[in-house]
């Protein structure tokens, strides 16, 4: 069953597992178990309407409306930028600034048109482990970063962190393949370390401030624990 983080008569927020589609696509149109919308409909026994999407490899908060009226009422949250979504990301290298506001346009999918895109990043933690990620570096450095996208461009967080050269661990589209290979060999990680962590919005009907937080997936929390405590790592023998 899908983990429910919040629900009332109008809305429901779930913690979407990594690897699950939000809704049916041409690539998985016959695989009912692969998309969250139908699973949630079956779980609740009623129709639901996805209010936004997160990429298939991304885990975390996902909001649905329980009626078309509730879905329509929610539209102003996005058009007036009233909704706040925060992500946790594990990236390559030390994130040197406490806070970074990046205003860097991104190309629209399948065209050369540039779209404005802004993201704020906060450094949450640094990790340095005694494992060489390359012959030139005897240790490996990583950062846990919180991200707030002000705009909603495709793969915005992934592309912006790529621009900063703080590639997301496990990102096979915009990341560092050497780091991905390193994490597969050292941690058996085959997932994207990008988690939709928190969401805040004003309830369209009650005006109550709604906050929901999705716990980290077990694999994400496990890797952070090993990075915080290098003695848990299986270090190579000299």
Question: How many CB atoms within 10 Å of residue 183?
Answer: 22
Catalytic residue among 55, 103, 176, 222: 55
Residue in the structure block whose two tokens are 């661990």: 169
- Record the pTM: 0.91
Lowest mean pLDDT among 97-101, 108-112, 151-155, 201-205: 108-112
For the chain, percent of residues with pLDDT exceeding 70: 92
Of the candidates 207, 188, 179, 163, the residue with the CA atom closest to the CA atom of residue 73: 207
Taken in order of first residue, the domains within the chain and their CATH numbers are: 1-74+199-216 (3.30.2350.10), 84-192 (3.30.2350.10)
- pLDDT digits over 169-186, tens only? 999 999 888 889 989 988
As a whole number, the mean pLDDT across the chain is: 91
- pLDDT digits over 58-112, tens only? 999 999 999 999 999 999 888 888 899 999 999 999 998 999 999 999 988 767 7
Determine whether 238 is an active site residue.
no
pLDDT given for residue 227 in this prediction:
93
pLDDT given for residue 236 in this prediction:
52
Residue in the structure block whose two tokens are 């007036």: 80
CA distances, 138 to each of 94, 134, 168 (Å): 15, 7, 21
Segments of the chain assigned E as strands: 3-7, 11-16, 49-50, 59-65, 84-92, 99-103, 106-107, 114-115, 118-129, 140-149, 194-202, 209-213
């Amino acid at each position: 069953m899908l983990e429910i983080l919040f629900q009332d008569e109008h809305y429901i927020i779930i913690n979407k597992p990594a690897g699950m589609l939000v809704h049916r696509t041409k690539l998985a149109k016959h695989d009912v178990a692969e998309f969250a919308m139908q699973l949630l409909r079956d779980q609740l026994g009623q129709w639901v309407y996805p209010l936004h999407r997160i990429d298939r490899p991304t885990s975390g908060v996902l909001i649905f409306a329980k009626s078309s009226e509730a879905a329509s009422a929610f539209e102003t949250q996005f058009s007036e930028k009233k909704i706040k979504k925060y992500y946790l990301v594990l990236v390559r290298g030390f994130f040197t600034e406490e806070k970074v506001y990046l205003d860097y346009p991104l190309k629209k999918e399948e065209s050369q048109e540039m779209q404005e895109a802004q993201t704020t990043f906060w450094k949450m933690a640094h990790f340095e482990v005694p494992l060489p990620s390359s012959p030139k570096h005897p240790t490996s450095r990583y950062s846990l970063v919180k991200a707030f996208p002000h705009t909603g461009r495709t793969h915005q967080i992934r592309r912006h962190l790529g621009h900063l050269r703080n590639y997301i661990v496990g990102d096979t589209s915009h990341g560092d393949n050497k780091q991905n290979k390193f994490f597969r060999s050292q941690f058996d990680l085959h997932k994207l370390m990008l988690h939709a962590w928190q969401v805040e919005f004003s309830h369209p009907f009650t005006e109550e401030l709604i906050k929901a937080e999705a716990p980290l997936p077990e694999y994400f929390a496990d890797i952070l624990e090993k990075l915080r405590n290098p003695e848990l790592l299986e270090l190579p023998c000299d």
